[in-house]
Amino acid sequence: MNIDTNTVVSMTEANQNFSKVTRIADRYGRAVVFKNNVPRYLVVQFTIADEVEDAAKSDVLASANKMMELYDEAFKKLAK
């Protein structure tokens, strides 16, 4: 995942000024909270949370379908 530097907030700053986090999420659609210089939390607008979840599910389903196609014969042999 690419992270826009405009959406990055430190954990300390998020604790002290959560309204800043929400303003960033409103403006860019998400805010990324870093803890110990590592992305730790993703804050998204509630209205797009379903879209994010659906995208993640479709990625998993696409990967599963690809694996099923790739190893179709092996799965058929194991099923016997």
> Is 40 in the same domain as 56?
no
> Is 7 in the same domain as 36?
yes
What does the pLDDT read at residue 1? 67
> Is 1 in the same domain as 37?
yes
Q: Could you tell me the residue range of the domain that residue 70 belongs to? A: 47-80
Instruction: Check pLDDT > 80 for residue 55.
Output: no
Phi, psi of 78 (to 5 degrees): -65, -30
> Is 1 in the same domain as 40?
yes
Strand 30-35 and strand 8-10: the pairing is parallel
pTM of the predicted model over 0.75: no
What does the pLDDT read at residue 56? 63
Helical axes 46-70 vs 72-79, angle rounded to 10°: 80
The total of structural domains in the chain comes to: 2
Instruction: Check pLDDT > 70 for residue 52.
Output: no
CA angle at 38 for the pair 33 and 42, rounded to the nearest 5°? 30
How large is the average pLDDT for residues 13-24?
96
How large is the average pLDDT for residues 57-64?
70
**Signed CA dihedral, 24, 43, 8, 35: sign only:** positive
Higher per-residue pLDDT: 4 or 47: 4
